[in-house]
Amino acid sequence: MSTLTLQGAAEGYNAHRTLTVGSEWGRQWRRRRTQLALGFMVLLPLILLIAFEFGSDSSDEGGGRGQFSALVDVATAGGLNFALFTLFVSSGFLLVVVVALFCGDTVASEASWGSLRYLLAIPVPRARLLGVKLTVALGYCALAMLTLLATALAVGTLRYGWHPLRSGLAADIPAGEGLVRLLAVTGYLGLSLLVVAGLAFLLSTLTDAPLGAVGGAVLLYIVSSILNQITALGGLRNLLPTHYSQAYLGLLTTPVQVDDAVKGAISALAYAAIFWIAAWVRFLRKDVTS
């Protein structure tokens, strides 16, 4: 009796069992870069806490404290404020790098190791491979952000107590509502970083060099941020993927202002979808030799 089905596949073959999310999650968990990235999410709030403890709180010699000094003052007003400050200082670069690392390294690293062609030879359908890789990468991005938030909230509360959230944009927000606002800010930051995730994942399917995919996504994000500061561009800045990157500030006002946050979420999802579709189209047609 033939061991092949009418479709030409071996008897008992099930494409949905060739590469599972669980097995890929375990493979990525054992990688050193995953452990280091998540470890730094725990370490950063501790570094900030130590900096606050041993740093000078005296006024600047010039008499002006500046915006950053004001943010430092707010950061020590309670655990919620400390967590908010940690997210603020991380969102501009650190979280961008972490998201680019998880999403840009996932496919390109397999190609650089020469194992991508063997995965496809199992055979793992290409669309399934991309779907599992992207799902796990986004899962680790979410885990990194939640680890950062939970650690900052825990150490900040232990040191500075559980007090109302002081945003500096409105009156103090009660602690319970402040926690909800903080989670909303985290969620929005996660949505806005989908642009980086989509771009890094696309570049990961175009190159065999993981650092090229990661660095390319970070570089283009920085360029977009710089262009967004050029007021001469006028309305064209609204089309930049980073234009609404700080729209989460509207979630800290009273009443809450969500107009820019909604626009930013739609923009991020649209850019991410375009990048992911391009990645699928390119990879499904790609001649994989590595």
pLDDT of residue 2: 38
pLDDT tens-digit profile of 153-162?
A: 999 999 999 9
Contact 194, 100 (CB under 8 A): no
pLDDT of residue 13: 46
pLDDT of residue 15: 52
pLDDT tens-digit profile of 205-249?
A: 988 888 999 999 999 999 999 999 998 988 899 999 999 998 998
pLDDT of residue 3: 39
Nearest to 197 by CA among 278, 129, 96: 96
Kindly write down the DSSP assignment for every residue of 29-73, as one continuous string: HTSHHHHHHHHHHHHHHHHHHHHHHHS--SPPTTS--HHHHHHHH
Between 57 and 247, the higher pLDDT residue: 247
**Cα four-point dihedral sign 59, 60, 65, 67:** negative
pLDDT tens-digit profile of 75-130?
A: 888 999 999 999 999 988 999 999 999 999 988 887 777 666 666 666 778 888 88
Look at residue 5 and tell me whether its pLDDT is greater than 60: no
Token code pair at residue 192: 């806005």
pLDDT of residue 108: 83
For the chain, the first-to-last Cα distance in angstroms comes to 35
Give mean pLDDT, residues 29-39.
Answer: 94
Q: Give the C-alpha separation, 232 to 82, whole Å.
A: 36
pLDDT of residue 16: 54
Cα R_g (the chain), whole angstroms: 22
Instruction: Provide φ and ψ at 4, rounded to 5°.
Output: -105, 145
